[in-house]
Every structure is written in C-alpha cells, then in structure tokens.
Amino acid sequence: MSGEFDLIRRYFTWPAHNAVLGVGDDAALLQPSPGQQLVVSADMLVAGRHFFADTDPVRLGHKALAVNLSDMAAMGATPRWATLSLALPEVDEDWLCGFSQGFRALAEQHAVSLIGGDTTCGPLNLSIQIMGEVPPSQALRRDGAQAGDDLWVSGTLGDAAFALQSLLGKVRLTPAEASMLCLRLEQPQPRLALGTALRGLASAALDVSDGLAGDLRHLAHRSGLQAVVEVTTVPVSEVVQVLSPHPLYWQCVLAGGDDYELCFTAVPQHREALSALSLQLGLPLTRIGYMQAGNGVQWLEGGQPVDWELQGFDHFA
Ligand code: ADP
Ligand code: MG
C-alpha cells in the first residue's frame, strides 16, 4: 500500500524532456518555443459515462491522452505538455501500473511531457489538460470555412460506435471484427501528423469526437454556413460496410461519436495536394460534401435531400 506521494512518484513521474521543471514542485515551469502560440485544451473522462469502469487500464491510459491529443491535431498544433488529474476510488496497483503504461507510451510516442497534475480519492475520473504550440495565425479553427469549400474527413467513421453496440449486445460480430472495432473505440490514434500537415491547406477543422452530425453543426455554425454531406460518400471500414442493413447504421456512422478523425474544409484547388497528403500519410482522406450559404447540416442520399434528425452526443440532452 502506498501513499499519495509515493503513488505519484511511482506511476506518474518520469523525465520531462520538454520542461524546465516537471512533476514534484508546486507548479511546473515551461519554456514555450520563441514566436509560437500556446494552444490549450482539457478533456475529462468519467467512469460509467465515457468508459466502462472495467476497461483495460493500459487502453484507458492511452485513450485518456489520445482524446486530448486529438484536440491538438484538430487545431493543427504540436502537443508538448500534459497535466493529469486523477480521482481514484482506491489504490489499485495493477490498475495504476497499466494506466500509467498506456499513458506514458502514447506520451513518449509524441514527445509529450507529463509535467504535473493532482491525485485525489473519489469516483474514478480522469482529467487531462494538454498544451501545445502552433505558429501564429496557422491554427486550424472552426470559423474559417468559406462557401464553395470542399468538406473532407479522415479515416473511417462509425467503428467506435458499432464497437459500443457490440459491447452492449445490440449487434453481432465475429470475434475478429469485434476486436478490430474495439481497438478503434479503446485505442484511438490522434491524427497529429494530419493536423500539422493541414496548416495552410484547410480553411477550418475540428475533430469528430461526438459524432459527425453534432460536430459538423459546430463547424457550420462558427463559419456562418451550411454543410452539405452526401452520406453515401462517408468513409466506413470494411467491417462497418457489411453492417449497412443494420437499423442503427446511419446513427452509428453519422452520429455515433468517439471516432477521433479530423473533419475539415479546403478550397477545391487543394484537392490534388490533399490526395498526395493522403498517400504520404497512409491515411484515407475523403471528400464528403461542401459548404454553402445557409446554416446547419443538409444530408443528401444519392443527391436527394433527406430529412434526418441526427443528433451528436450531448451529455445534457
Ligand atoms: P500541491 O499540494 O502543491 O498542489 P500535490 O501534492 O498535489 O501538490 O502534487 C505534488 C506534485 O505532484 C506536483 O508537482 C503535482 O503537479 C504532481 N502530481 C500530482 N498528481 C499527479 C498526477 N496524477 N500526475 C502527474 N503529476 C502529478
Ligand atoms: Mg503546493
């Protein structure tokens, strides 16, 4: 059994390469790169709401950081520092060891230093603050889309939502399919290389965390435009493709959440550059529609407007 400080030392202290002073003092000291803007975001994961309490702790450590890194990717930022605030119902050494391992592996992969946090006793809650950098006026914001811009999305949508349906017993998958989709739910890969590469190419961007329907509405609103989406062009994985007759298909693909792909707009002149970028990154980039005057999201199926009331995830709805 270890106390609070022993626990912080054992599981959440490792060399912070990017910091002047990391874990262990009253506060950390950071030296931002000269001329860069600081980009800051926070995300909280609550047991029973964002994840099942019995989720593999290694994957949970990864995911808690990944969802924060995804916000940096969406801003076109390079992540540099993170803080971790934990409420733990008890000291479970195996859990802490796994969580710390998953968190640290992803942090080191992206050269992000854990520079502090807080540890307290309470219902399981993981709060991370992420800090990164971006050159002035190059951040990818939600409000930059122009009428006539193409609308793009990375990777595939709906995998995580169908993984959740499978865990809830609402869709039947083979063990191989289930584990492939669960990997997408539990170990999302933040699209950081894409985010920085989109500087100067994308006019607006956000990450798809609450489902395309809900998130796209934010981008449209902030840009003062309407997003038009041809639903048959929305990219899905082979596993999800096969599920297309399922009654929850469009709900999962367009409004399921937990995708952590990037959705962005760009002028049509950038189509070739974006195809080349897709090849270079080994990541599908798919044109799913365009922006026009108006508001909200207009869904088209085979060119015909469809009146779908798709809601993104909203904790208070
Ligand atoms: P204080 O009481 O001054 O707020 P704490 O005793 O809470 O400081 O924390 C001691 C040090 O450990 C601080 O540097 C703090 O940032 C760090 N720390 C606490 N919890 C965590 C955690 N879960 N992960 C990383 N660092 C942590
Ligand atoms: Mg103090």
| Ligand closest to the CA atom of residue 5 | 1
What one-letter code names the amino acid at 298? Q
CA of 187 to the centre of ligand 2 (A): 34
- Do the beta carbons of residue 260 and residue 214 sit within 8 Å? no
- Residue 119: strand pairing partners: 86
CA of 27 to the centre of ligand 2 (A): 7
Name every residue whose Cβ is closer than 8 Å to that of residue 171 and which is 6 or more positions away in sequence.
Answer: 162, 165, 243, 246, 248
Instruction: Give the pLDDT of the chain (317 residues) as one tens digit per residue.
Output: 568 888 899 999 998 888 889 998 999 999 999 999 999 999 999 999 888 888 999 999 999 999 999 999 999 999 999 999 999 999 999 999 999 999 999 999 999 999 999 999 999 999 999 999 999 999 999 999 999 999 999 999 999 999 999 999 999 999 999 999 999 999 999 999 999 999 999 999 999 999 999 999 999 999 999 999 999 999 999 999 999 988 899 999 999 999 999 999 999 999 999 999 999 999 999 999 999 999 999 999 999 999 887 766 666 65
The pLDDT of residue 307 is 87
| Ligand closest to the CA atom of residue 24 | 1
Is 6 in a helix, a strand, or coil? helix
pTM for the predicted model, two decimal places:
0.94
DSSP classification of residue 231: G
Q: Which is the closest atom of ligand 1 to the Cα of 28? A: 14
Output the six-digit token pair for 153: 């999305």
How far is 287 from 233, CA to CA, in rounded Å?
A: 7
Helix H or strand E encompassing 215: helix 212-223
How far is 223 from 225, CA to CA, in rounded Å?
A: 5
DSSP classification of residue 269: G
